[in-house]
Amino acid sequence: MSNMSYCRFENTLRDLQDCIWSLEGGEADDISGIELKSAIDMVEACQEFIDLQWKLDEIIDEQDK
């Protein structure tokens, strides 16, 4: 199920934090198959998001005006 546009980033942040805590806590040490592939794909998606920092900066600047 997709996130509603008004809470997309908030919900995704919580889910991403849960995944981080799972990796840090060793809960994900035995992931495999589609779950492992999804974790690898998520790293790539996070890099793409980081690469869009300039866009977030533009949005922040625009709101500061």
DSSP letter for each residue of the chain: -PPPTTTHHHHHHHHHHHHHHHHHTTTTTT--HHHHHHHHHHHHHHHHHHHTHHHHHHHHHHHH-
pLDDT band at 1 (very low <50, low <70, confident <90, very high): low
For 53-65, how does the pLDDT look when each residue is reduced to its tens digit (9 = 90+)? 999 999 999 999 8
8-59 residue pLDDT tens? 999 999 999 999 999 999 999 999 999 999 999 999 999 999 999 999 999 9
pTM for the model stands at 0.82
